[in-house]
Structure 1
Amino acid sequence: MDALLILGGLLLMLSGLVWLVMRAFATSLLWGWGSLLPPLTLIYVLRHWRRARSAVGLLALGFIPLIVGLVLMANKDAERLQAILSLDWLKPAAQAPAELDIQLRGELNNQPFMPQHAELIDGVLSLREGQDFFARREVKIRLPRATTAPIRLDVLPEDQGELPEVEVSWLLPEQDLPEARRLSKGYTLHLDLQALPPNKLNGDFHLVLPPQYGTTLSGRLELFTDRLRYRDGHLDTAFDSQETLAHVVEDYLQRRFNSRVVQLQELPAVSFPASSVPLAVVAKVNGQEQRLDLVLEKGARGWQVKDDRYPALSLPNAVAAKPVVSEDVAVNEPAQTKPDRRQRFSLLRLLSSPQQYQNLSMRVVKLNGGTAEGRFAGLDTDGSIRLSQQHGGAGQATFTLHPDEISRVELLEP
């Protein structure tokens, strides 16, 4: 009601002003143009009161509903009235600062490319444009060896040997899966990245692919080194990622068992966004295996374990005790190395023994040339392969691919 009164008053006042200007033009062309200026409008009203009084009366009539509406709004919602009168709504909305300072310019597949998200995790440097599950455009660089900051790397087109693999992909509006191209030599790459605590790298980036790929990218780059986020120097537990849940669970186990010696096994894959997640947790605490069924909930303070009432650790200065392993056990247990499951890996092996490849990263190439990459999340009842993918602020999603659509499957980790 108050807003309607204010709007009605403003409309009456506007009608009165228009009528007054029309009366001024009817008097003379000079007075008409002069009435468009407020000082001359007042002079016209005083000199030609008889002609102007009806328009001025309509203008004054508009003040009545306007004042009544403002009084009602002041009694009902004073903050709203203050916001309207301060004219803050005319100012452009302040944009939240970007998580990363990415100052790259270039093109991908002959289209402008301005990445909005960047990360270097498990030896894969990824630059993405777009917040959807599949990026509109993306560059991935798989480094041949695990590297730690500072990272300095230069590759020239004539270089040979063990070089990073570069993959570019783009998604067209009429396609379900992105198209991808990969090359392992014949390109120019320059990386000079320095550590930026707590979990970032920044520095120079330069990439030029052969002319047929239509891809160049150069500038300053800032990227994440894990899927954790920090706010004012503290971990942001409201961020949706597997790493955030693992940190929350590990902190919970340390406080519950009053020990810092906690070795948490990999958590089951979680699909985000979510507000409540049940987890079967397996961990070793002081060398003893613990199996717990926990429920994690996301509230105003971020992710936390349901019914968590355990106090902070009471061992601020104590050195955490390491589990004691007898010499006999250490001597009698031979060192075992895990076999490389990438050897002789195929689609048939995946379909026949899916449990051996659970949560491993793999790439699927479709018959139509499209590619999809993610962690293996199991098989559906009809034999379709389920892959899950984590994309920063976009969360985690799962999609399925039927074996009849697949050309080949590549395992990306042992």
Structure 2
Amino acid sequence: MDALLILGGLLLILTGLVWLVMLAFGTSLLWGLGSLLPPLTLAYVLRHWRTARKAVVLAGLGCIPLVVGLTLLASHDSQRLAAILSLNWLKPEVQAPAELAIQLRGELNGQPFAPQQGELIDGTLSLREGQDFFARREISIRLPQPVKGAVQVDVLPQDRGQLPDVQVSWLLPEQELPEARRLSHGYTLHLNLKPQAPNKLVGDFHLVLPPQFKTTLSGRVELFSDRLRYVDGKVDTHYDSRDTLSYVIEDYLQRRFATRAVQLVSLPPVNLPADSLDLQVEARIDGQPQRLPLLLQKSTARGWRVKGDQYPLLAPVTSEQATSKSMPEAINPTASRPLDRRLRFSLERLQSNPSRYQNLSMRVQTARGAQAEGRFKGIDTQGQIVIQRNLSGAGEASFTLRPDEISQIELLEP
């Protein structure tokens, strides 16, 4: 209502001013030209009041709904009114410096593609344009096996067998969910990526999909290999991600128990961004399982840290200790391999035992053909499936789906 009043008032004022200029041109050409300048407009109103008063009254009537609309806006959203009156929206938006040097030429679905985010984590290469939960345009390439170190992949349209899955998706302005297309063969792909310290992969990227997809991209990419960020060679504890929290917790436990033999077993689901997190953490310390309550707090000066952390730094590892740690441990040939939870996975199994698949990566396809990919965060009180996705700097966002609108669900990791 307040927006309509403000808009209506501005239209009446503008109509009155245009009418005033037309009356001035009707009086004489000189007065018409002079009325285009505010001081001379006022002089014309005073000199020819009888002629100009109708336009002035109309403009004055427009001030009434304008003032009422601004008053209503100030009563329930003063920050928005302050932002409008400050005129900062007239200034050009300052683009933040890009974290990654991605130089791609070509198009995705017939539109220019300029990704700001890129990563290759757990065997999935992702290039995203846009910061929202659903990217405006995105390419996702799932490699057959997770990789460590350099990546070299070459695929031709005639190749068959175990090939990377390629998925392209785009979100049009009038759509709520993105459209997605997935290919398992019939495309051209070239990847030649080299590790770059501390946590990046840099190299050539070339992708050509069949003509109906209107997608051809070629150039150089820079990708994150995990969700840590570094400043001057040190982990940036201000960055909101699960990897940052895991790093902070492991560092804290190592100093608290004076041992480097610390392995974080389970980190409960978290909602980021946040100022504090109260967590129950499971870890193995010197081979012994531990369950510890921790309160993590984030400050502007130090980023994420555990409350009450005043433990000193660990002593550096000596050459003898490093030698003993580098010796291979005996392998138990009878040790069983971890169970692959992707086997016989289904929506019914997920609903019957959600804790078994907590925080695992999944891909969901709805009956309308839309796809969403993220980590399973549980089932809410209304029985809806909750999927959460990291937004690379903007925290994490959740998306809920009713079981009856899910046509296909796929578990993406063991």
Cα distance in 2 for partners of 1:406, 1:368 equals 9
Letter aligned with residue 298 of structure 1: K
SS of 1:265's partner is strand
Cα distance in 1 for partners of 2:361, 2:292 equals 26
Cα distance in 2 for partners of 1:259, 1:363 equals 39
SS of 1:393's partner is coil
Cα distance in 2 for partners of 1:110, 1:337 equals 46
- Tell me if the contact between 1:278 and 1:293 (Cα under 8 Å) persists in the aligned partners: yes
Per-residue CA distance 1:153-176 (angstroms, 9 max, x = gap): 111111111111100011122222
1:58-77 mapped onto 2 (5 Å cutoff): none
Letter aligned with residue 166 of structure 2: V
Cα distance in 2 for partners of 1:166, 1:107 equals 15
Counterpart in the other structure of 1:306: 307
Cα distance in 2 for partners of 1:230, 1:133 equals 24
Letter aligned with residue 129 of structure 1: E
Cα distance in 2 for partners of 1:96, 1:377 equals 31
Cα distance in 2 for partners of 1:92, 1:383 equals 45
Counterpart in the other structure of 1:199: 199
Cα distance in 2 for partners of 1:96, 1:168 equals 26
2:321 is the counterpart of 1:319: yes
- Tell me if the contact between 1:362 and 1:373 (Cα under 8 Å) persists in the aligned partners: yes
Letter aligned with residue 308 of structure 1: D
SS of 1:308's partner is coil
Report the CA distance shift for 1:203/1:174 in structure 2 as closer, same or farther (over 3 A).
same
Report the CA distance shift for 1:95/1:363 in structure 2 as closer, same or farther (over 3 A).
closer
Cα distance in 2 for partners of 1:183, 1:338 equals 30
Counterpart in the other structure of 1:140: 140
Report the CA distance shift for 1:139/1:275 in structure 2 as closer, same or farther (over 3 A).
same
1:101-180 mapped onto 2 (5 Å cutoff): 101-180=101-180
Per-residue CA distance 1:19-76 (angstroms, 9 max, x = gap): xxxxxxxxxxxxxxxxxxxxxxxxxxxxxxxxxxxxxxxxxxxxxxxxxxxxxxxxxx
Counterpart in the other structure of 1:256: 256
SS of 2:393's partner is helix
Cα distance in 2 for partners of 1:181, 1:95 equals 31
Cα distance in 2 for partners of 1:153, 1:261 equals 36
Cα distance in 1 for partners of 2:271, 2:385 equals 16
SS of 2:321's partner is coil
Cα distance in 2 for partners of 1:309, 1:171 equals 48
Per-residue CA distance 1:313-372 (angstroms, 9 max, x = gap): 1354372888xxxx9xx97x9412232222222111111121221111111110111011
Cα distance in 1 for partners of 2:133, 2:381 equals 24
1:291-370 mapped onto 2 (5 Å cutoff): 291-299=291-299, 300-317=301-318, 319=321, 334-370=334-370
Q: Which runs of 4+ in 1 moved over 6 A?
A: 91-94
Report the CA distance shift for 1:164/1:248 in structure 2 as closer, same or farther (over 3 A).
same
The structure with more radius of gyration: 1
Counterpart in the other structure of 2:223: 223
Counterpart in the other structure of 1:290: 290
Query: Structure 1 residue 92: deviation in Å?
Result: 9.1
Letter aligned with residue 321 of structure 2: V
Cα distance in 1 for partners of 2:224, 2:136 equals 20
Aligned residues: 318
- Tell me if the contact between 1:135 and 1:171 (Cα under 8 Å) persists in the aligned partners: yes
Letter aligned with residue 312 of structure 1: L
Letter aligned with residue 301 of structure 1: R
Cα distance in 1 for partners of 2:383, 2:193 equals 43
Letter aligned with residue 253 of structure 2: L
SS of 2:132's partner is coil
Cα distance in 1 for partners of 2:375, 2:308 equals 31
1:29-44 mapped onto 2 (5 Å cutoff): none
Report the CA distance shift for 1:309/1:405 in structure 2 as closer, same or farther (over 3 A).
same
Counterpart in the other structure of 2:58: none
SS of 1:351's partner is helix
SS of 2:308's partner is coil
Query: Structure 1 residue 146: deviation in Å?
Result: 2.2
- Tell me if the contact between 1:106 and 1:114 (Cα under 8 Å) persists in the aligned partners: no
Letter aligned with residue 183 of structure 2: L
Letter aligned with residue 246 of structure 1: S
Q: CA RMSD in A?
A: 2.2
Same amino acid, percent of matched pairs: 64
Letter aligned with residue 135 of structure 1: A
SS of 1:278's partner is strand
**What is the TM-score normalised by the length of structure 2?**
0.73
**What is the TM-score normalised by the length of structure 1?**
0.73
SS of 1:243's partner is helix
Cα distance in 2 for partners of 1:250, 1:342 equals 29
SS of 2:168's partner is strand
- Tell me if the contact between 2:122 and 2:147 (Cα under 8 Å) persists in the aligned partners: no
2:211 is the counterpart of 1:234: no
Cα distance in 2 for partners of 1:95, 1:116 equals 11
Letter aligned with residue 313 of structure 1: L
1:8-87 mapped onto 2 (5 Å cutoff): none
Cα distance in 2 for partners of 1:406, 1:97 equals 39
Letter aligned with residue 310 of structure 1: Y
- Tell me if the contact between 1:133 and 1:394 (Cα under 8 Å) persists in the aligned partners: no
Cα distance in 1 for partners of 2:286, 2:338 equals 24
